[in-house]
């Protein structure tokens, strides 16, 4: 039986209709709806046109048998399904892809009224920096909880809220999330976000133009003031004075202030004591670099928003390679994603290393907790199973602690993950092991050398 184009289209519409009930609507939209077409139907073979190998692979793994069954039922005969990549399917797909690569999660446009959008813009708030888009890990739990509490009761819980942490860990995102929530609840609230540098520039500008009163009023009538990168304030004495008065006015009126900084108030050089004590007078919370689990969670969340998805193994490899900062983590994700989109082919965990060109790659490649444990065991001449056992004999305690230390520092596992790798539940033993390893390495040259040797074996 050979079918014409019209018949093929009709038949495929029926198949899609049935298939839609068997897979999630997200999957249907991403992989089937506009990216497939019935190409041929000859003998009992059906060829389905797909735009690229990524779609092909997904369909082969997830829908091939379903499609075959649906067709068999429709036609009353056994059918073999095959997928073919065709240029016309590719063109169709690209057309669609251009318009909608990112789905609703990061798409504020769909969700907010014009009034809210305008208010966000006026307050200098990035529409994507919301609580919903912020993945909470152990590294950010406390900061997140504090920010959420502040958003729910401005000026009443922690005032000021002072968030600190190294670059790219989500400080700006989190502080803006507070502003975002406040504005979307009530767009008339007066909110303003700026960096300490902008604060300085606006101040200097107002002096030059003889408009200091305007400057002061602009800041002092706010409901919520957010000043980012406040660590730079220490460079400018007059700005410190101005900020002090702004702070007092807002604070005394019960208005909320949030600061972000790359270090705690006590470590900001040249910060006037009176400001320091103000900064410390509310709640000071830190955000740490994300642990492995959180890194994977962040990557998965980004992946969910894309039509073309990176495989989990690739996400995990990225999380192994990029360790200290969410911004570079997302950068690495985007790089891998564009590569996959561009070449229309799947990328492997090993290719990702080349693509990212990360130095640590060779160290961390294929390094697993198991490999670390077995190297350590053979180095100390003990059995692997003893390291994972409950034994407290001195012979195995030290190598066990070395394993914990290496798993934690080389693989950037969380304390819990490290404990689990050695068959333990209690992560305080890991904490203890790491402290001891640091101490021993500092005190005992031979021991430090041994650690280096074990590492050297793992690198190769
Ligand atoms: P910082 O201000 O600490 O330097 P940012 O807030 O600018 O860092 O974050 C850098 C990027 O990483 C932003 O795109 C932000 O949305 C993203 N990001 C940071 N932390 C998270 C998180 N926990 N979940 C999701 N995205 C995050
Ligand atoms: Mg920032």
Ligand nearest to the CA of 170: 1
Q: Measured between alpha carbons, how far is 179 from 90 in angstroms, rounded to an integer?
A: 42
Contacts 24+ apart (CB under 8 A), 98-104: 100/307, 101/306, 101/307, 101/308, 102/305, 102/306, 103/26, 103/305, 103/306, 103/307
In this predicted model, what pLDDT tens digit does every residue of 33-57 receive, in sequence order?
888 999 988 888 899 999 888 888 8
Nearest 10 degrees: Cα torsion 434, 440, 446, 449: 30
pLDDT above 70 covers what percent of the chain?
A: 93
Which CATH code fits 123-286?
3.40.50.300
In this predicted model, what pLDDT tens digit does every residue of 336-369 receive, in sequence order?
999 888 887 888 877 888 888 875 555 555 788 9
Beta strands in 165-319 (DSSP E): 191-195, 224-228, 256-261, 283-286
Q: Measured between alpha carbons, how far is 103 from 26 in angstroms, rounded to an integer?
A: 10
pLDDT at 360: 57
| Substitution site in 168, 231, 315 for ligand 1 pocket (most atoms within 8 Å of beta carbon) | 168
Query: How far apart are the CA of 364 and the centre of ligand 2, in A?
Result: 29
pLDDT at 323: 79
**Boundaries of CATH 1.10.1750.10 in the chain?**
365-458
Q: Report, as an integer, the average pLDDT of 287-307.
A: 89
Q: Give yes or no for a cis peptide into 21 (omega within 30° of 0).
A: no
**Boundaries of CATH 3.40.50.300 in the chain?**
123-286
Query: How far apart are the CA of 116 and the centre of ligand 2, in A?
Result: 23
pLDDT at 100: 44
Closest C-alpha to ligand 1, atom 20: 170
- DSSP, residue by residue, 27-42: HIIIIIITT-EEEEEE
Say if ligand 1 is within 6 A of residue 332 CB: no
Ligand nearest to the CA of 195: 2
Query: How far apart are the CA of 148 and the centre of ligand 2, in A?
Result: 18
Diameter of the chain measured on Cα atoms: 88
In this predicted model, what pLDDT tens digit does every residue of 179-205 receive, in sequence order?
999 999 999 999 999 999 999 999 999
In this predicted model, what pLDDT tens digit does every residue of 408-443 receive, in sequence order?
988 878 899 999 999 998 889 999 999 999 889 888
Q: Tokens for 142?
A: 């406390």
**Closest-CA residue to 295 (of 348, 259, 270, 331):** 331
pLDDT at 35: 83
Phi/psi-derived region of residue 229, left when phi > 0, alpha when psi is between -120 and 50, beta in every other case? left
The distance of Cα 358 from the centroid of its chain, to the nearest Å, equals 18
- Would you call 457 exposed, middle or buried from its count of C-beta atoms within 10 A (0-12, 13-18, 19+)? middle
Which CATH code fits 5-97?
3.30.300.180
- Would you call 1 exposed, middle or buried from its count of C-beta atoms within 10 A (0-12, 13-18, 19+)? exposed
Q: Which of helix, strand or coil describes residue 102?
A: strand
In this predicted model, what pLDDT tens digit does every residue of 222-258 receive, in sequence order?
999 999 999 998 778 889 999 999 999 999 999 999 9
Say if ligand 1 is within 6 A of residue 330 CB: yes
**Boundaries of CATH 1.10.8.60 in the chain?**
292-358
Query: How far apart are the CA of 287 and the centre of ligand 1, in A?
Result: 11
Query: How far apart are the CA of 175 and the centre of ligand 2, in A?
Result: 9
Which CATH code fits 292-358?
1.10.8.60
- Domain 365-458: CATH architecture, name and number where available: Orthogonal Bundle (1.10)
**Boundaries of CATH 3.30.300.180 in the chain?**
5-97
Say if ligand 1 is within 6 A of residue 168 CB: yes
pLDDT at 108: 44
């Amino acid at each position: 039986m050979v079918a014409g184009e019209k018949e093929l289209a009709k038949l495929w519409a029926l198949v899609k209709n049935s298939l839609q009930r068997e897979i999630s609507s997200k999957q249907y939209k991403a992989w089937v709806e506009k990216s497939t077409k019935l190409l041929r139907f000859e003998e009992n073979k059906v060829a389905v046109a797909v735009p690229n190998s990524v779609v092909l692979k997904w369909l082969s793994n997830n829908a091939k048998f379903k499609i075959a069954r649906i067709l068999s039922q429709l036609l009353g005969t056994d059918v073999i399904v095959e997928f073919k990549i065709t240029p016309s399917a590719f063109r169709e797909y690209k057309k669609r892809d251009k318009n909608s690569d990112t789905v609703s999660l990061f798409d504020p446009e769909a969700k907010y009224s014009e009034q809210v959008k305008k208010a966000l813009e006026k307050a200098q708030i990035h529409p994507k920096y919301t609580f919903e888009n912020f993945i909470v890990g152990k590294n950010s739990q406390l900061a997140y909880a504090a920010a959420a509490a502040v958003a729910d009761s401005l000026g009443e819980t922690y005032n000021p809220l002072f968030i600190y942490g190294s670059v790219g860990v989500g400080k700006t995102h989190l502080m803006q999330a507070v502003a975002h929530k406040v504005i979307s609840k009530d767009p008339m609230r007066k909110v303003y976000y700026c960096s300490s540098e902008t604060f300085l520039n606006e101040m200097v500008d107002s002096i030059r133009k003889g408009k200091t009163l305007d400057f002061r009023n602009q800041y002092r009538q706010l409901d919520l003031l957010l000043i980012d990168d406040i660590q730079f304030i220490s460079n400018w004495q007059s700005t410190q004075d101005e900020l002090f008065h702004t702070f007092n006015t807002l604070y005394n009126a019960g208005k909320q202030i949030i600061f972000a900084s790359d270090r705690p108030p006590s470590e900001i050089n040249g910060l006037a004591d009176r400001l320091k004590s103000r900064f410390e007078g509310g709640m000071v919370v830190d955000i740490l670099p994300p642990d492995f689990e959180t890194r994977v969670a962040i990557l998965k969340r980004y992946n969910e928003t894309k039509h073309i998805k990176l495989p989990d193994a690739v996400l995990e490899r990225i999380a192994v390679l990029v360790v200290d900062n969410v911004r570079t983590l997302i950068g690495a994700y985007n790089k891998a994603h564009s590569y996959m989109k561009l070449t229309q082919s799947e990328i492997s965990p090993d290719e990702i290393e080349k693509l990212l060109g990360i130095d640590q790659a060779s160290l961390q490649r294929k390094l697993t907790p198991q490999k670390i444990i077995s190297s350590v065991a053979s180095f100390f001449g003990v059995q692997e199973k003893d390291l994972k056992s409950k034994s407290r004999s001195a012979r195995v305690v030290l190598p066990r602690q070395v394993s914990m230390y290496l798993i934690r520092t080389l693989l950037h596992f969380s304390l819990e993950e490290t404990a689990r790798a050695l068959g333990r539940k209690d992560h305080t033993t890991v904490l203890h092991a790491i402290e001891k390893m640091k101490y021993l390495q500092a005190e005992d040259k031979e021991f430090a050398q041994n650690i280096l040797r074990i590492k050297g074996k793992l690198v190769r």
